[in-house]
Structure 1
Amino acid sequence: MPIVIDLERGKKVAKLLYNSFTTTDIHGRTGMPRDMVPSSVAKGSLGHILFITLTISINYKRDASSLWESSIKTFDDPETKYLFDPKLLHETPLEKIVEDMHRYNLSPRPEKDADIWQRVGVTFYEKWSSDPRNFFKNSNWDSSLIVKRLRTDTHTEKGETAPDYPYLRSPKIRPLWLKMLRDDAGMVELRNLEAIPILVDVHVARATLATGVIRGQFKGTLDELSEDIREAWFQSVEGLNANERPMIAIDMYQPLSHLSMHGCSNRDEIIGNCTAFNNCEARDLCIKGKIKIDKNFVDLET
């Protein structure tokens, strides 16, 4: 049969996972690596905002725990803390940035990571007085407009047009960045986050399929399935609450990621037996069948 979006099941999964993630745990874990904050920074301060912003700008193709741990060490070291100051990033040669980002393995891809890091910092220095909040104010704190500008704002570099926010502008990073700023840095002024779709990666896809929110038969790319996954969570969270406010689709990213990383990743890809089943918060909603995700290819029979 073709794939089906089960919204009744989606609401059950959303309530269960969100409540478990925020009050007890999912597979013994309640925090994501990116929830960590340097000891020397005040939550919600400009330093905290820049720590989140610059770190997440290179959050691609690497282990999240090691990234955030390396970033904290870099921030807490007086000799490398300048890497979180847009003005100093503007004044420092790229070669020095490459060297200092490597000290705590913040940049597995030294030149590329340093170039992204410096560009993001310099953009905020040159255009927004070193404060991302000025960018948000200029965008009327509208998340939809911020996302659009992340995609489209440019500058001239060596005679060519270049993006202001490399990687920060990517479909995977930009919603996560805004959610972190709201939830972790307390930036409650951000509006219209409900219009931002959930980040769909392998973990979100696997947990969505394993809980039967989307089921049926499908063979194709994850990119092709992503629109259905985004729509499933847009609709599933409607009418639900999250900590005394309306739940939004991107609230489900962390709970689903936890469920997949520490639970659904243990499923047998063909029949669906899972070694984490007995201790899984979502075991009553787990479905049998084939859920095989190999890089960007999905083979589903549930």
Structure 2
Amino acid sequence: MKSKKELVRNCRKLLDAYQSGKLGYSVMPEDCSPNFSKEDNEIRLVYFTLPMSLNYQRDSYKLWEAALKAFNDSKVKKVFNIQYSAKLDAEILRKYLISYKVALQPNKHIATWQKIAKTVTENWGTMENFFQFVDYDFLKLREVVQKRYKSGFPYLSGPKIFNYWSFIIQKYGGIKLKNSEFIEIVPDTHITKCSVILGVITEEEASSLSKEKISERWRVILDGTGISPIDMHPPLWFWSRNNFKFKLK
């Protein structure tokens, strides 16, 4: 593993390159979203939560393009009302979500969407109330979603998507979470490739270490630098997607 000083220096270079547009194409999948107003707090939170729970082994860009098309259809848009989705007949929900390919799996995806909608509706009523319940605190949010109500948040409670969703809900959902520095980086294929190139892990460790261990390695490296692990996700993700055209030296 390279020295911490060199690793942090390269991280800062990548952050700067991302912010200045030097990494190449860097439009996030979630940028494909409605132009929400400040008053649209509830539906915005739902919009960046329910589709995220279906974001498993699929093209993220196509998912959010599908979500936007569904949202722009006045009839289908109702599925982004969490109380409506919680009570809607499963067959109708299936028809709506599949019509724009928001859902690709006719049973599992519909069950996931409705289960989360029911969990929120039955326990807190709204997404806004839910975040008030956890005091807008990432650590409390993690406790609720990944432990106390884990079965009520299928897939969203998994470590990979939960951390990424927590990042997205801040970036696009219009809320600020306390203790957000504890959000872990999400070592998907792109992040893992970057981790090897930067020297955070070896090629052998890329296949032998768990995702949690890779996340832990990043946290140790960035400790005390002022850089939160999740802040590195976009620059690393686009660095890899753009085939590492940006050179560190």
TM, length-normalised to structure 2: 0.91
Show the 5 A alignment for 1:62-101.
62-101=58-97
In structure 2, the residue corresponding to 1:53 is in which secondary structure? Answer: coil
| Aligned-pair CA distance for 1:101 | 0.6
For each residue in 1:31-74, what CA deviation from the matched residue of structure 2 results, as whole angstroms up to 9, or x when unmatched? 211222124x3266222111001111111010001000000000
Q: Does residue 257 of structure 1 match 2:206? A: no
Match of 1:151 among 118, 121, 146: 146
Structure 1 equivalent of residue 175 of structure 2: 187
**Contact conserved, 1:85 with 1:130, CA < 8 A, in 2?**
no
| Aligned-pair CA distance for 1:17 | 1.4
User: Which has the larger displacement, 251-260 or 65-74?
Assistant: 251-260
Distance 1:150 1:105, change over 3 A: same
Q: Which has the higher helix share?
A: 2
Q: Percent identity?
A: 26
| Aligned-pair CA distance for 1:263 | 1.2
| Aligned-pair CA distance for 1:231 | 3.0
Distance 1:15 1:253, change over 3 A: same
CA distance in 1 between partners of 2:223 and 2:205 (Å): 29
CA distance in 2 between partners of 1:225 and 1:87 (Å): 37
Distance 1:209 1:255, change over 3 A: same
CA distance in 2 between partners of 1:174 and 1:219 (Å): 23
**Contact conserved, 1:22 with 1:30, CA < 8 A, in 2?**
no
Larger Rg: 1
**Contact conserved, 2:192 with 2:206, CA < 8 A, in 1?**
no
Structure 2 equivalent of residue 47 of structure 1: 43
**Contact conserved, 2:49 with 2:165, CA < 8 A, in 1?**
yes
| Aligned-pair CA distance for 1:225 | 4.8
Distance 1:201 1:108, change over 3 A: same
CA distance in 2 between partners of 1:6 and 1:36 (Å): 38
Match of 1:214 among 193, 201, 206: 201
CA distance in 2 between partners of 1:77 and 1:58 (Å): 20
Q: Does residue 168 of structure 1 match 2:163? A: no
Distance 1:142 1:208, change over 3 A: same
| Aligned-pair CA distance for 1:118 | 1.0
Q: Does residue 247 of structure 1 match 2:243? A: no
CA distance in 1 between partners of 2:240 and 2:50 (Å): 26
Show the 5 A alignment for 1:215-234.
215=202, 218=204, 221-222=207-208, 224-234=209-219
CA distance in 2 between partners of 1:206 and 1:179 (Å): 21
| Aligned-pair CA distance for 1:218 | 2.4
Show the 5 A alignment for 1:113-132.
113-131=109-127
CA distance in 2 between partners of 1:220 and 1:64 (Å): 23
Structure 2 equivalent of residue 20 of structure 1: 17
CA distance in 1 between partners of 2:17 and 2:102 (Å): 32
Distance 1:31 1:66, change over 3 A: same
Show the 5 A alignment for 1:105-120.
105-120=101-116
Unpaired segments of 5 or more residues in structure 2? none
| Aligned-pair CA distance for 1:29 | 1.5
For each residue in 1:196-249, what CA deviation from the matched residue of structure 2 results, as whole angstroms up to 9, or x when unmatched? 22111111010111122334x626735x25345323322333444xxxxx4311
- The amino acid that maps onto 2:207 is T
Report the RMSD for the aligned CA atoms in angstroms: 2.1
CA distance in 1 between partners of 2:71 and 2:64 (Å): 10
